[in-house]
Structure 1
Amino acid sequence: MAPTKTLVIVESPHKATMIAGYLGPKYVVRASQGHVRDLPTSASQVPAKYKGQPWARTGVDVEHDFKPIYVVSPDKRSTISELKSLLKDSDELLLATDGDREGEAIAWHLLDVLKPKVPVKRMVFNEITEKAITDAVAHTRELDTDLVDAQETRRILDRLYGYEVSPVLWKKVMPRLSAGRVQSVATRLVVDRERERIAFTSANYWDLDATLVTDSREEFSARLATLDGVRIAQGRDFDADGRLVGKGRGEVRRLDEPSAAALATALESSPFTVTRVEAKPYTRRPYAPFRTTTLQQEAGRKLGFTSQRTMSVAQELYEGGYITYMRTDSVALSQEAIGAARSQAIELYGRDHVPDKPRVYASKVKNAQEAHEAIRPAGDHFRVPAQTGLTGDRFRLYELVWMRTIASQMADAKGETLSVGIDAMPAAPVAIPGGDVTRAGFTASGRTITFHGFLRAYVESVDEGSSDDAQSRLPQLHRDQALDCSEVLASGHDTRPPARYTEPSLVAKLEELEIGRPSTYASIIRTITSRDYVFKKGQALVPTWLAFAVTRLLEGHFSNLVDYQFTADMEETLDQIAQGNAKRVEVLSNFYYGDGPAGSDSSAEAGVSGDSGSSAPADGHEGLHRLVSELGDIDARAVSTFPVGAEDSGIVVRVGRYGTYVEDAEGTRANVDDELPPDELTVAKARELLASPNGEERELGLDPHTHTMIVARNGRFGPYVTEVLEEPATDAPATVSGKG
């Protein structure tokens, strides 16, 4: 009798090699090379029997329960053939793809394509170590069809959104643009922030800093807080229009430069007296272990990694057996991992740095979808970074994960926070606008860490330079203590517009709004930057005027599709499908045909049974099908035209099919540099461009074949030439794509 063979299928060759090393000769481990099939990506991939159907280009039969048409891509045919051949000589099939929704879907596709006649089991593991792999073989399960349904629904939603909405952008804005269910919302977030910056009006305010000296000649700084008991205005007291706000102007006093200078001069020779000393105990708990989004954010802040780079390096570490699975919402650690972290912390920092009881973390992420652990070093005994043999980015990311995991099981940091109030009494009242000043109140604060605890292992980047050890120390002070003043400096400040998003802060915002899944954020950011919707200025994400035009069109005609709450509700609905509490067809029907009276195309008319509204992400909305069918009210020129400065400036910025330009009332045009942030395109800057010959396009002559004008322009990557056609003001698709 021939020995039994078990075929194990994973996604990547590297994983296959690692796992094969832990399994005996009875197991054959092969890689599917990722997804083995998907919806068709071109007309040539659509099976012949579906060609001619109105929905064929999408690959989704919207007329019959949104049945997807899957095709095996040409580059995967040899993989499928090999797997089928190996399956013929196997007695069992283990589908060992990742344990998340996408991995479950890949397993289902493999099952559907291979059609095995031998027993099939699902093998799931969270790390690639010998113990984890042998445990996974011993504890297999059935395929989770609810997870498959959730992933398939997401894929179909994204396909319908992209394939139905993108052509609208081609017609009304520019050829070859793309729209996406989460991509377009992420773009809107970046655009909304830039709108806030454009509308922002800066305000100027002044304050004072005093350098004070104790009788033992110890120096420290204190900042002006009040004048005769009335609080001094700070940046937080101004609104986006530059107006002083609050409970009332009488409760906040604004200093200008002359007033601040007069006060500084008067107070330098004034007596300073401590009026208040408040000491409070300080305790800081360690941070939870990493999950996908916190790893992306912290790697961005500490290491300067893009989200894409973080996930790519993390994938290498996972497949190499160095860390656990990196796509997870969980912050929980297994008992083995807790034990490993605690013992290593004791070994490195001492028994007093580890609490008596293990720390247990619970996820605060709504509908945390996978039953994984947090991201941590693999194994039940963690390798310190120096023992791994890793180098470069892999070493740096592993070290970050290792430090965070160890710190999560360490003791609280403890110390004391000191807050001091100090009064200065000028010899004579200081006359400034708003009333004479007879008493100036200063404050100083500091923190002393008496026991560092977990801070010896890890300090999160958002705290570096702003808290914990970074706060200044204060000398010993007591009430009624007299202080000398060595200097009082007046300093002016301008309020700043809200900061642009960076990759870490955009990831944090998407998660806060419950939009998208952590595993998709890296690809979303890569997409919006590669499609010229967003570019980077340093670490900041800056929207292009093209992004403004696309967002305006979507907000005006597809408002639900870029609505933050609608998109979050759709994510909730997908979670409900994963939990078996919502039905795929009903969700898709509601999205595509609308629900109830708001759309004349109802699910009933589409031949779909059941209460489609029960799984709706919103009530009374028009479906996608109707929205893309009624485009007559979209003014293509208006969508892409924005006033520069006030409406009466007579200057507009316009997104043309071949670039962005400014135009004045006389019709004079000048190109706009692709890397000029929208909030920097002021009226003065626009006039400078219009007055500069270098800002204008230069006509080079007619193309002898097409008889269209060839012009030279300056673009993001330098000068280029392109054909210029009449700009269409109708729904007619453009005949030339790209920007030259």
Structure 2
Amino acid sequence: MKRILNVAEKPSAARELSHALAKKENIKVSVFLSTAMCCLLNEAHNRREIGSRLKVYEFELDLDHEKVTMVFSNVAGHIKALDFHENYRGWDSCEQVALLDPSKTPIKEYVPEDKKFLENNLKNEARSCCKLFLWLDCDSEGEKIAYEVLDICQQVNMSFRIPDNVKRARFSAITPQDARNALQNLTSLHYPTVSMVSTRQEIDLRAGAAFTRFLTKFIQNEFRVPLKGDKKAILSYGPCQFPTLGLVVDRLLTIRAFQPRLFYYLELTISCESSDGDKLVLIWERKHLFDRYCCALLYELCYSSLLRSNFQIAIADIKKVRKSRRRPLPLDTVELQRLASRVFFFSSDTTMQAAERLYSEGYISYPRTETNIFPSTINLSKLVLLQQNDQKWGGFVQKIMEHWIHYSPRQGTKDDKAHPPIHPTKPAPREGFKDKECDAIYELVTRRFLACCSIDAKGYETVVTVNVGFESFHIHGLSIEEAGYLEVYPYDHWSERVLPTELEKGTTIRVVSLMLKEGSTSAPKPLSESDLLGLMDKYGIGTDATMAEHIRKIQHREYVTKQGNLFYPMALGLALVEAFEACEAYLARPTCRSEQEKDLRQIGQGIRDASDVLYTALSAFTGNLQKLSTSTNILRRVFSSHFDSN
């Protein structure tokens, strides 16, 4: 019987995919043993030692009218690493600028020692198989990992060099339906995407090594940089981390440069007989003025008018307008991270760890997607019905299904052509999830999905306007007629405010007070994690798969600190950005990385050649490194304002 090797990206994915394609009792589980110990990356890409055991799943399957044996194994993220040849790994092995020149400092891909166990397992299984199905995550990084797996398997099995014997399985959720659909619609590896990721890896390696070596050697020789645990200062540079740091520093500098301005405004308070003494505060039509004299003059004119009318005024106008609050868009990765940060104060790293676990166990679709449009091929009513027995929102599901023929989900504008928006794929377990993070993220994903499949909230807004002299004041009221999606989505607020019924056009009301008040403009707040993710998405800094990692790294390197849910630059991060700006090496500006990502995407689209994009990026980095190298006096001056000299 033919044997087909299937490779997933994680141990849990291999297990769940096997269970999706075959009954559990029909699956044979064997263990690949090795005398060496290995470290794998767990679902959240944190390190943990699992020993020398790796489960391999085998089961029989009818495929294309033929019975075959499916062998499911896995890797743990990237199985290969990229580094310089041994001659150039030492910090004093060459000039830093040479690291940016591929002709002077060659690089190579290799399998690290802690991944050798995975490599040996792949080779062991590949020898006895005639075909290879690649079930890696369906994003650009997954495409590159699939190529790494293929390269290893080809070393021991020449039949995998035949294109028809190697297929790519593409799926968005680990469910029986998605797994079967992927198996029936196998495709080929997308080599332009592999080339795009490889080019990005080389750019990041070369730029990171060159700038890290230069900055670290210079600062260690000149200054004492106190770090936690008395660590020796390593000024690590990353092409995505620095623009992320730059956004945090830029907000701090904006706050420091902010000059508050006093402004002045009028506040009118009225009272209605039927409101039991309740007072209503009306807003001045002009909002505020920065000229105190002018505002005081208008106050005097208004007050004189009130004296003449014995503090009685008539309602000049009442407008009733139908209002609606739009249901949310389908959920993409960045919005998931931002929403979890705002609602639960989860870090983006925590959010993605929980989402990855839920995906691996088949509860939600693939959580790394840029898409906020549901394709017409997805049976949304079936996904909604999966939630009908949940105590929290089962009743709302019944309301949706009663009117489903009239509903259609709100659609966004983004489509990465790889994965649908994030949505639940099966009900939550009756006993709930083992950890609170998974429980919170599953509830958020499900409520968001049901909300976007529901209808907008509807109501009426009432605007009451009065005139005092030549000045107008108004007050808004809101009456919610139909809550719509708000019934299931507590993360949006639309507060009802009912005005007294006696407020009608021409009705005379009593003025309680007219006051001249003073206020001041306020500086923006430091960036929250939700703000930072939004800016990173806007400028294209990182991908939906890497944003959380970049935010975590700038904290770990002590460039920024997070207090509550707000980010503040630390002395080292502030000094680095100030130094780069002073030397006119603008690598901490957000547009730097976004331009590179635009070029890289053109590789994936087949528009540009990888060598051309690599040359362009490395030439720009070379110019910036030379600016720093010839401006050591400026670097010294900037850092001396933050740290003591050696």
Give the TM-score taking structure 1 as reference length.
0.70
Deviations 1:634-679 (A, max 9, x none): 32332225xxxxxxxxxxxx2216xxxxxxxxxxxxxxxxxxxxxx
Instruction: Provide the rounded CA distance (Å) in 2 between the counterparts of 1:113 and 1:50.
Output: 24
Instruction: Provide the rounded CA distance (Å) in 1 between the counterparts of 2:358 and 2:541.
Output: 27
Letter in 2 for 1:225: W
Deviations 1:373-415 (A, max 9, x none): 000011xxx5267586565221111011011111111122211
Q: How many Å apart are 1:57 and its aligned residue?
A: 11
Query: Structure 1 stretch 48-57 or stretch 561-570: which is displaced more?
Result: 48-57
Contact 1:338-1:358 within 8 A present in 2 as well: no
- Matched with 2:281 is 222
Instruction: Provide the rounded CA distance (Å) in 2 between the counterparts of 1:358 and 1:628.
Output: 53
Equivalent residue in structure 1 for 2:605, among 569, 579, 584: 579
What is the 5 A alignment of 1:179-218? 179-207=237-265, 209-217=267-275
Aligned residues: 567
Contact 1:376-1:405 within 8 A present in 2 as well: yes
Equivalent residue in structure 2 for 1:377, among 389, 410, 424: 424
Cα distance change, pair 360–146 in 1 and its aligned pair in 2 (3 A): farther
What is the 5 A alignment of 1:615-634? 623-629=620-626, 631-634=629-632
Equivalent residue in structure 1 for 2:442, among 398, 402, 408: 398
Instruction: Provide the rounded CA distance (Å) in 2 between the counterparts of 1:99 and 1:475.
Output: 57
Flag structure 2 segments of 5+ consecutive residues without an equivalent.
23-58, 60-68, 160-164, 221-232, 389-394
Equivalent residue in structure 1 for 2:413, among 355, 363, 388: 363
Equivalent residue in structure 1 for 2:348, among 307, 313, 330: 307
Equivalent residue in structure 1 for 2:357, among 293, 297, 316: 316
Q: How many Å apart are 1:63 and its aligned residue?
A: 0.9
Deviations 1:298-343 (A, max 9, x none): 0111111110100000000000100000110011224434223555
What is the 5 A alignment of 1:128-527? 128-173=174-219, 175-207=233-265, 209-217=267-275, 219=278, 221-225=280-284, 231-233=286-288, 244=290, 253-254=294-295, 270-334=311-375, 335-341=377-383, 343=385, 347-349=397-399, 354=404, 356-359=406-409, 361-364=411-414, 369-378=416-425, 382-383=426-427, 391-424=435-468, 441-459=472-490, 461=491, 463-464=492-493, 468=494, 470-476=495-501, 477-486=503-512, 492-527=518-553
Q: Percent identity?
A: 24
Instruction: Provide the rounded CA distance (Å) in 1 between the counterparts of 2:476 and 2:88.
Output: 75
- Matched with 1:117 is 158
Deviations 1:82-101 (A, max 9, x none): 11111112222111110101
Instruction: Provide the rounded CA distance (Å) in 2 between the counterparts of 1:491 and 1:450.
Output: 36
Contact 1:211-1:487 within 8 A present in 2 as well: yes
Query: Structure 1 stretch 164-173 or stretch 181-190: which is displaced more?
Result: 164-173
Instruction: Provide the rounded CA distance (Å) in 2 between the counterparts of 1:354 and 1:210.
Output: 48
Q: How many Å apart are 1:494 and its aligned residue?
A: 2.8
Q: Which has the higher contact order (CA 8 A, sep 6+)?
A: 2
Q: How many Å apart are 1:551 and its aligned residue?
A: 0.6
Tell me, what secondary structure is at the counterpart of 1:336? coil
Contact 1:268-1:487 within 8 A present in 2 as well: no
Tell me, what secondary structure is at the counterpart of 2:274? coil
Letter in 2 for 1:624: F
Q: How many Å apart are 1:496 and its aligned residue?
A: 1.1
Q: How many Å apart are 1:203 and its aligned residue?
A: 2.6
Q: How many Å apart are 1:441 and its aligned residue?
A: 3.3
Tell me, what secondary structure is at the counterpart of 2:137? coil
Cα distance change, pair 9–263 in 1 and its aligned pair in 2 (3 A): farther
Letter in 2 for 1:333: F
Instruction: Provide the rounded CA distance (Å) in 2 between the counterparts of 1:507 and 1:267.
Output: 56
Query: Structure 1 stretch 169-178 or stretch 119-128: which is displaced more?
Result: 169-178
Equivalent residue in structure 1 for 2:15, among 14, 17, 26: 17
Instruction: Provide the rounded CA distance (Å) in 1 between the counterparts of 2:516 and 2:172.
Output: 58
Contact 2:80-2:112 within 8 A present in 1 as well: yes
Tell me, what secondary structure is at the counterpart of 2:532? helix
Cα distance change, pair 351–377 in 1 and its aligned pair in 2 (3 A): closer
Q: How many Å apart are 1:346 and its aligned residue?
A: 6.8
Cα distance change, pair 574–296 in 1 and its aligned pair in 2 (3 A): same
- Matched with 1:106 is 145
Letter in 2 for 1:150: M
Contact 1:341-1:405 within 8 A present in 2 as well: no
CA RMSD of aligned residues (A): 3.3
Contact 1:232-1:253 within 8 A present in 2 as well: no
Contact 1:532-1:544 within 8 A present in 2 as well: yes
Cα distance change, pair 199–347 in 1 and its aligned pair in 2 (3 A): closer
- Matched with 1:691 is none
Instruction: Provide the rounded CA distance (Å) in 2 between the counterparts of 1:217 and 1:70.
Output: 76
Instruction: Provide the rounded CA distance (Å) in 2 between the counterparts of 1:357 and 1:78.
Output: 52
- Matched with 1:562 is 588
Tell me, what secondary structure is at the counterpart of 1:39? strand
Instruction: Provide the rounded CA distance (Å) in 2 between the counterparts of 1:168 and 1:558.
Output: 16
Contact 1:55-1:62 within 8 A present in 2 as well: no
Flag structure 1 segments of 5+ consecutive residues without an equivalent.
235-243, 425-437, 594-622, 642-653, 658-725, 728-740
Letter in 1 for 2:119: I
Deviations 1:238-279 (A, max 9, x none): xxxxxx4xxxx69x95569x9999999989972233112122
Give the TM-score taking structure 2 as reference length.
0.80
Deviations 1:585-612 (A, max 9, x none): 101111212xxxxxxxxxxxxxxxxxxx
Tell me, what secondary structure is at the counterpart of 2:587? helix
- Matched with 2:615 is 589
